[in-house]
Amino acid sequence: MAGEGSGAIGRVAMVWDDGLAAYDLGQGHPLAPIRVELTVELIRHSGLLRAGVDEVLPGSFGEAELLRLHHQDFVEVVKRLSADPGGWCDPTFGLGAGDTPAFEGMHAASSLVCAGSREAARQVWEGEADHAFNPAGGLHHAMPDRAAGFCVYNDPAVAIDWLLQHGAERVCYVDVDVHHGDGVETMFAHDPRVLTISLHESGRFLFPGTGRVQDIGDGAARGSVANLPLHPGTTGEVWLGAFDAVIEPLIRAFDADVLVTQLGCDTHATDPLAHLALTVDDMAAIYARLHRLAHETADGKWIAMGGGGYQLVQVVPRAWTLAFAEMSGGALEVEIPMVWRELAVERTGAVPPVSFTDDPVRVSDAMYEQAVRAAKDSVAALRELVLPHHGAR
């Protein structure tokens, strides 16, 4: 099934270090590191790591790199709370009770996530790999001056910044997380070299409440931001139809040197924090589109990160293993390996999925009609507001 016929060329890298599991916001927090650990184990047990497909370490990451995008006073607060998570913090820094609690070792763990995405970018840009994946990355809500939405430092932005520093002239960032990729957009909204694209549940219904289709970038970078908000109940058919109608022609028209993607899988119908209605089969179709576009527009240069996804056992490992199978050209059996299922039970006590496929999702007729109408409105607005800036229709 997934990955068959993808024809990955050359080497593919997965960035992993057990230290990435230290990005742990605490017991009961939705962004539990077990979801990424189980993803890595499923990739291993599915036979995707073979000749030309390797695990690589994140490498070192200096504070000077972090400070290119993140304010020094914020970084100093993160470092202080890393040693004393219970210490007082000005709420404007976004750390404390709520979405993004401070935790011991937070600065080192967050920096390691950035190192992983920076290494994925380096692997691809310097030609060591055609595609690279950091499943622990995708912390797209972090802002220059504050943490937000489970995200301390913004690793996708770090990867993009590194690419620009090292000669990339045009970077296309595509974010398929159910939440708007607001932090990455904020960091590059004034830079015409970076096209940020986010397909997400409308901010009318979901955190962070941003990502309007009318937000298209500023000044000389006008048209370098594209937001496609979607209505609760959006199915895979509607999501993919909107992508095909306006996002694919936009990616083609921008003609980037490299494609950077955030693959949040919280668009799944069963995700507890959102309201879209995709299946893992729909996600596999998304990954196939991104893979094809990377080869057809960016000479195959594709960098991917994880992101959101809060069905820790049922969805996240399957979705991102499907993504890595697509990246690496590996074939997966329909049935998930028994050894992984036993490991999932041992680690979590939850009943694991048996198959890499999902049953179809059904939403009410009324909700489906609302979703179709909202997607059509977003597509029409992007055609009017953004595509003309790139000579596309």
Q: How far apart are CA 354 and CA 336, in angstroms?
A: 5
Residues 6+ positions from 221 with CB-CB distance below 8 Å: 188, 189, 190, 191, 192
List the catalytic residue out of 70, 131, 141, 200.
141
For 258, the 3-state DSSP assignment is: strand
Q: Token pair of 38, please?
A: 């189980």
Strands (E), the chain: 12-15, 53-56, 131-134, 171-175, 194-201, 225-230, 258-262, 302-305
Look at the block and give the residue holding tokens 């200096």: 62
Strands (E), 83-164: 131-134
Residues 6+ positions from 388 with CB-CB distance below 8 Å: 223
Under 8 Å between Cβ of 40 and 320? no
Residues 6+ positions from 88 with CB-CB distance below 8 Å: none
Q: Is 253 exposed, middle or buried (0-12, 13-18, 19+ CB in 10 A)?
A: middle
Look at the block and give the residue holding tokens 């000479």: 299
Q: Is 28 exposed, middle or buried (0-12, 13-18, 19+ CB in 10 A)?
A: exposed
Q: Token pair of 238, please?
A: 């509607």
Q: For this structure, is 268 an active site residue?
A: no
Q: How far apart are CA 315 and CA 111, in angstroms?
A: 26
Q: Amino acid identity, residue 314?
A: Q
- Which residues are the active-site residues? 141
